[in-house]
Chain A
Amino acid sequence: MTGEAITTTGLGRAFGDRHAVRDLHLQVPTGQVMGLLGPNGAGKTTTIRMLTTLLAPTSGSARVAGLDVRRYPARARGHIGYVPQEKGVRHLLTGRESAEIEADLHHIPRRDRDRRVTEVLDLLGLLPDADRLVSEYSGGLQRRLDLACGLLHRPDVLILDEPTLGLDVPSRRQVWEHVRQLRDGGGTVLLATNYLDEADALCDRVTILDRGREVVTGTPAELKRKVGADVVVVRTRQPDRLGRALTGLPWVRQVKVVDADVSVFVGDAPSALAAIMAAARRHDVAVLRATYERPTLDDVFVHFTGHAAAGVP
């Protein structure tokens, strides 16, 4: 398949007066990892529920593998591998049994089933644990089993909802490694996350959602360039006073205040740092800490939404 694995046109979902998602134009090109980034409540899960046909859109349309999700929900579901953020109850099944049952539910022909189950379990490094009960699995193992099950029917697009939520660092890295392998193998992935470092590490393109709306879309590198070269973060007890003092200075591109941190977007951080310190002294602002960094997606997020992303691992 070439072109777009997922396309949405003005997609929206309202719950009464509340618009969980509105006017979303999303494109997931085949063979890419697309990140859907935003804090809890930004509309990521609602978007995914519409794409997986669990929730009917109230406006606009969505196509998965060229199939309109409202007109052909059952066929569209056949092209999706969905890994929800919740862990399912299958504690009394072994990993292999879970995968076999999900293979049957995806109508994988019986003569291919056992081979395919072994293949995906092997791919995710689960064969040594395949015949243990899932209740004995660690969080990381369970997550890898979820990923394995999502791949069983060779879906055109894999939809991952917060794939590393609640995992420890090694398990997280392991899941990342598997998503990278998928991407390198030509797989298409839509990944919803509120971890900016995760999107930075895995995604070819990112759409930032905030309060149900698309804020900006681009490659992580493009988005960082848009924010500016460097950012100096100053922690102080008088963030607003410092923010006001710096706003409008010719070498300052933008100032954002989030809690006790003042983020100053500048062209060159080392020279700006001295000027910021001087400005702080002039305005009698006590600086607790000052650091500077190259832009990250966190900065991109703050830049485009005016507030911090909620999720920090």
Chain B
Amino acid sequence: MTGAARAARLGPWAQELRALLRRWYLQLVRERAHLVLTLCQPAFWLVFFGLGVGRLVDRATVGTDDYTAFILPGVIGSTVIGSAISGAVPLLWDKETGYLHKLLSMPIHRGSILLSRLLFQVAVTGVQVAFILLVAVVLGVRVATGFAGLLLVSLVAALLTVALTAAFLALAHHGPGHNTFFTVSGFAALPLLLASNAFVPLAAMPRWMAAVARLNPLTYANEASRQLVLGGWHPRLVGYLAGLSLFAAACVAAAYLAFRKQAGGAS
């Protein structure tokens, strides 16, 4: 394919993606209160939970004096879970109001709606994570791997966002309605967060709980981020990142298949 032909094929696709992203963006920024609270909430975890509970925590259990630094990956993880759930809500409303039908009757690629939501949610999470990291630095957290490490922490958050958002998008799209969506997502959020090593290291858990936590993708994201924040560069990181990438790819593929199936035919 020549460059011009490729541009001609990519043109409409880029145009529809831009248009969808613009729609998501305008809808988000016009809900000011939602926007501000979304941004600020994670900081409360760091300040009140980190500084407060940190005083009760035994250094030998968590392996560091700096509990705020220890829970930093967990706070990011909890933010990602919240972000992934709220990332599926616009699709849920589009489905329930019938606008999704209209979108699907347009000559756009079936995957564009999914892709635009994922890109948009990664951007939203990116801003949230940047803000969390800024608050953490202000609170005195020093990152072992420096600025490059922070970028990788953001990448880990992005991969987890893609995976979980895809899963919740599939639920929003495939589920029977908003009651099921909010019940399931609300129920899933807590075990996803607490049955992981977000606030307690695996080694300090009862053995059965650690076994459950090892099945939780959030645990691996936390391990990777914690390694970067507290430990330092280590070959293990490659494995974590590869695993998370595969998990994200699998979630996206599953969501895409669910989309195509429901949409009634190939694009």
Looking at the complex, which one of A74, A100, A101 makes contact with B107 (CB distance below 8 Å)? A74
Could you tell me the dominant secondary structure of chain B's interface residues? helix
Could you tell me the dominant secondary structure of chain A's interface residues? loop
Binary contact track B91-102/A, C-beta < 8 Å → 1, others 0: 001100111011
Contacts of B180 in A (CB 8 A): none
Q: Check A92 against B30 for contact (C-beta < 8 Å).
A: yes
Contacts of B11 in A (CB 8 A): 107
Q: Given that A93-B27, A101-B23, A107-B16 are contacting pairs, would A88 and B105 also be in contact in the complex, using a CB cutoff of 8 Å? A: no
CA distance A56 to B267 in the complex (A): 12
CA distance A84 to B93 in the complex (A): 15
Q: Given that A55-B264, A88-B98, A89-B97 are contacting pairs, would A80 and B105 also be in contact in the complex, using a CB cutoff of 8 Å? A: yes
Interface centre among A85, A93, A97, A107 (most CB of B within 10 A): A107
Q: Check A88 against B102 for contact (C-beta < 8 Å).
A: yes
Tally of A-B Cβ pairs under 8 angstroms: 95
Q: Given that A78-B107, A101-B22, A105-B20 are contacting pairs, would A49 and B101 also be in contact in the complex, using a CB cutoff of 8 Å? A: yes
Q: Check B99 against A90 for contact (C-beta < 8 Å).
A: yes
Whole-angstrom distance from the CB of A56 to the nearest CB of chain B? 5
> Is B55 interfacial (CB 8 A cutoff)?
no
Binary contact track A77-104/B, C-beta < 8 Å → 1, others 0: 1101010111111101100010011101
> Is A194 interfacial (CB 8 A cutoff)?
no
CA distance A82 to B93 in the complex (A): 19
Q: Check B267 against A73 for contact (C-beta < 8 Å).
A: yes
Q: Which residue of A lies closest to B23 (CB)?
A: A101
CA distance A80 to B101 in the complex (A): 13
CA distance A110 to B263 in the complex (A): 28
CA distance A101 to B99 in the complex (A): 13
> Is A52 interfacial (CB 8 A cutoff)?
yes
Could you list 12 further interchain pairs (A-B, Cβ under 8 angstroms) beyond the known A70-B265, A84-B98, A107-B12?
A: A54-B105, A54-B264, A73-B265, A84-B102, A86-B98, A86-B101, A87-B97, A87-B98, A92-B31, A101-B19, A105-B107, A107-B11
Residues on B facing A (Cβ under 8 Å): 11-12, 15-16, 18-20, 22-23, 26-27, 30-31, 90, 93-94, 97-99, 101-109, 263-267
